Every structure is written in structure tokens, then in C-alpha cells.
Structure 1
Amino acid sequence: MPMLVAQSSDVSSDLGIYLPLVVMFALAAAFAVFSALLGPLVGPSRYNRAKFQAYECGIEPSPQPVVGGGRVPVAYYLTAMLFILFDIEMVFLYPFAVSADVLGLFGLVEIFLFIATVGFAYAYVWRRGGLDWN
């Protein structure tokens, strides 16, 4: 019976090391909620007709579609999404770079496989014309 009590105390002491992480997440969530709720209360509230109109990259909005199928070309959005996609994939290289000496040959092979995968995706997007501005 005392063995069960010892095991439960070990589990509670092991979970105690996560307390700073839980506190950090709680503070981050509280700050996000506080900022979202405080903004409209403190910020200026001078509304006019111009603030409620659509604004797209400095182009005057018009009720008729412009030649080419819309007010803003889809290429802008696709380019932004591709940038975000490849940028986030490159962020995954940082953990490999930090622990490259610990990972050894396995890490080197994994880095080459990851870069090859990103390279194939880049070549696919390039061949499909996703990087052309025409």
C-alpha cells in the first residue's frame, strides 16, 4: 500500500515541472483576451462612411468587375500563400541546425530529405506558373 502512495507523489512531482509552462500559456491567453477586449474600449470611435467601405490595396472599389475577373488578381493571394508556405517550411530547418552535432548522420540524411521535398514542391509550383506575375 505505501508503494502506491509513493508512486502518486512521484507523478505529482513530475507534473510540477510543467507548472511554469502552464502559467506562461495562461498569461498569454489572458493578455490576448485583455488586448482584444480593451482595444475597442480605449481606441477612438469616430466612424464615417469611408471607414465602412471596402479597401483593397489602394484600388478604388467599383461595382463592375474589372477586365481580368475581379478587383484584385488572385495572383497576389497565391503569391502570399506560397511565401507563407515556404517560409514556414524553412523555419523547420532551425531545430536541425541547432542539434546537428547530436543527430549525426541520421540528422544529415533527414535534412537532405526535407530539403529535397521542399525543392520538389518549389519546382512543382514553378512549373505550374505559380511564381509568374503575368
Structure 2
Amino acid sequence: MVDLSHYLPILLFLGVAIALSSTFVFLPMAVSRLTGSHKPTPEKLSEYECGFPAFEDPRSQFDVRFYLIAILFIIFDLEAAFLYPWAVSVFTLGWTAWISMMVFIAELALGLVYAWKKGALDWE
């Protein structure tokens, strides 16, 4: 006969995980229904990230400054992603790693100065 009592902690953990995840999913939905915040209004349906209506003619002109800012954000976000592993291992890698990272940061700083001077960061 197989002793299944060793699996009881796993089943308890699974039950608690299912209960908590169900609570985190369904409780906000229920609160939204009870408070009336699920009713759409023109303000809730308006665009707020891209700056142009989502369901219009796709060939219409739109402002590209949003995309320039997004691309600059991605570039500097990737810089931070490269800095973390470098900072952890810089003392074991030596001067070569330090100099190469300083060149990398200088290139990014020059790119930021260039974008700043060209007005890519200005939002009217």
C-alpha cells in the first residue's frame, strides 16, 4: 500500500495557491461591478498612450515624437540592463572591462546629448 500522507503538504500548498490566485483575479472584478467602475465613458475609452485614436484610418498622419521618446527609453533601459552584470563582475574582469564600459557609457552620453540638442526630448 502506498503512503500518500507525504503529498499532503504539496496538496495544501496547491490549494492555497489556487485560492489566492482566484482571489486576486475575481475579487477586483467583483469590486468593479459593485462600485460601478466598469461602465465605459468617453474619457475611459479615449487614447492615452499613443496619442491618436486606435480605430481610425491607419494611413492618417500622427505625431512620431511618441515613438522617438519610446526608442530613447528602450536604448537607456538596455544600458541599465548591461550595467548590472558588469557592476557585479567588474572587479574580477579587470581594467579592460572597466575601460570598455566607460567607452560604452560615453557613446550613450553622446547620443543623449545629440538627441537633446536636436530637440527629440522636447514635448510641446
Give the TM-score normalised by structure 2.
Answer: 0.51
AA aligned opposite 1:120: L
Shift of 1:55: 5.1
Unaligned runs of 5+ in 2: 1-40
2:42 is the counterpart of 1:56: no
**Aligned equivalents of 1:85 and 1:101: distance in 2?**
26
AA aligned opposite 1:79: I
2:105 is the counterpart of 1:115: yes
2:76 is the counterpart of 1:96: no
AA aligned opposite 1:56: E
Post-superposition Cα deviations, 1:59-78, rounded to whole Å, max 9, x if no partner, equal 78497xxxxx85x5322222
Moved over 2 A (4+): 58-63
**Aligned equivalents of 1:132 and 1:55: distance in 2?**
24
Give the TM-score normalised by structure 1.
Answer: 0.47
Alignment: residue pair count: 92
**Aligned equivalents of 1:128 and 1:118: distance in 2?**
15
Alignment root-mean-square deviation, CA: 4.0
**Aligned equivalents of 2:64 and 2:93: distance in 1?**
42
How many percent identity over aligned positions?
39
Post-superposition Cα deviations, 1:88-120, rounded to whole Å, max 9, x if no partner, equal 122111121011111111111112111111111
AA aligned opposite 1:101: F
**Aligned equivalents of 1:60 and 1:105: distance in 2?**
49
- Structure 1 residues 85, 102: closer, same or farther in 2, change over 3 A? same
